[in-house]
Amino acid sequence: MASGVKPRVKVPKTAAAGETITIKTLISHPMESGQRKDGDGNAIPRSIINRFTTEFNGENVIDVTLEPAISTNPYFQFEAVVPEAGDFKFTWYDDDGSVYEETKSIKIG
Amino acid sequence: MELTRRKLLAIGASTFAIASITGASAYASLTDDAVAAFTGGAATGEGAITITAPEIAENGNTVPVGVDAPGAVAITLFADGNPTPAVATFKFGPLSASRSASTRIRLATTQNVVAVAKMEDGSFQMAKANVKVTIGGCGG
C-alpha cells in the first residue's frame, strides 16, 4: 500500500455552456517501477497506479492506461468540453487494488 | 601498414560510432513489436499528430511530454530505449475537447519517444521525437 496518496485537481469553478476547459491533475504516488534494486541488490516490487479515468456527469472524458514509465506523482493535463453544470469525477486505480477518487463541480455562468 | 596518429583517431571514431548505433537500437525492435501490436500491423501515416518533448532532458525521471492528434480516439506513447517500451495509452471519450494530453514520463537514456494515434476512421498516425537524456531515470 502506497502511503500518503493525495490527489490534487485543478478545474475552473465556472464555464460557459459548451466551453472547452483545461484540467490539470496530479496525485502523489511513488510509482515504483519494478526496475530498481535496494541496497542488497534485491529488486523492489512494482507498485504503480495503472489506470486513471475522468468522467463528467457519467460520460467519459479520458481513460489513461499507465505503465511503469510514468514518473513519480503522475501528472496529466487535458481538455474537456462542458455541456452543462455538473461534476467531474476523477478516479485512480492502484496496483494493490486501492481506488482513489476526487470530485470537482463546475457551474455555468 | 603504418599506424599514424591520424589513422588511429579515425579507427577509434568509427568503432565508437558503431558501438553507439548498436546501443541505441537494443530496445528498438521491442518498440516496433509494440507498435505493430497496437496497430495490428497496419501502415502508419504522418502529419496529423504532433508530439511535444524537450530536445534535451537533464533529468530522465520527469520528462514533460505532450501529444496532440485532432480526430484521434486513442494515442499510445512508446519510449524505444526503455526496458519496457510502453509508456501510456490515452483513450478519449465523447467529452474530450482537443484530443491532446500531456504528462511526465521516465526515460532511461537518450532515445526516441514514439506516439501512435488511432484515428476515428481506423487509420493510424505516428510521430517521433528524439530526446537527449543527461541523467537516466530508471534508477538501474
Which residues in chain A are closer than 8 Å to B111, comparing Cβ atoms? none
Nearest-Cα residue of chain A relative to residue B98:
A79
Q: Has residue B16 got a pLDDT over 70?
A: no
Residue B22, pLDDT score: 46
Cell digits for A78? 487535458
Coil, helix or strand at residue A94: strand
* Residue B46 identity (one-letter amino acid): E
Query: Is A87 an 8 Å CB contact of chain B?
Result: no
Residue B37, pLDDT score: 85
Q: How many helices (H) and strands (E) does chain A have?
A: 0, 8
Report pLDDT digits (tens) over A39-83. Answer: 898 999 999 999 999 999 999 999 999 999 999 999 999 999 999
Cβ–Cβ of A78/B101 closer than 8 Å? Answer: yes
pTM of the model: 0.82
Cβ–Cβ of B95/A75 closer than 8 Å? Answer: no
Cell digits for B113? 519517444
Beta bridge partners of A49: A94
Tell me which residue of A107, A94, A4, A104 sits closest to A50, measured CA to CA: A94
Cell digits for B101? 494530453
Query: Is A72 an 8 Å CB contact of chain B?
Result: yes
Cell digits for B61? 525521471
Instruction: Compute the mean pLDDT over every residue in chain A, rounded to the nearest whole number.
Output: 92
The residues in A 46-65 lying below 8 A from B, measured between CB atoms, are 55-56, 59-65
Cβ–Cβ of B94/A59 closer than 8 Å? Answer: yes
Nearest-Cα residue of chain B relative to residue A19:
B97
Residue A109, pLDDT score: 81
Residue A71, pLDDT score: 93
Report pLDDT digits (tens) over B3-12. Answer: 676 665 665 5
Nearest-Cα residue of chain A relative to residue B88:
A66
Cβ–Cβ of A74/B103 closer than 8 Å? Answer: yes
Report pLDDT digits (tens) over B68-95. Answer: 999 899 999 999 989 889 999 999 999 9
Task: Give the mutation candidate from B31, B61, B77, B106 for the A interface (greatest A CB count, under 10 A).
Answer: B106
Confidence bin at B21 (pLDDT 50/70/90): very low
Q: In whole angstroms, what is the distance from residue B140 CA to residue B134 CA?
A: 15
Q: What is the ipTM of this complex?
A: 0.89
Query: Is A107 an 8 Å CB contact of chain B?
Result: no
Residue B2, pLDDT score: 60
* Residue A104 identity (one-letter amino acid): K
Q: What is the mean pLDDT of residues B46-56?
A: 91
Facing B100 at nearest CB: one of A21, A33, A79: A79
Greater confidence (B38 vs B103) lies with: B103
Contact present, B115 and B77 (Cβ < 8 Å): yes
Q: What percent of chain A has pLDDT over 90?
A: 81
Q: Has residue B25 got a pLDDT over 80?
A: no
Q: Has residue B55 got a pLDDT over 80?
A: yes
Q: Please state the separation of Cα B2 from the chain's center in Å.
A: 44
Residue B31, pLDDT score: 83
Nearest-Cα residue of chain B relative to residue A66:
B88
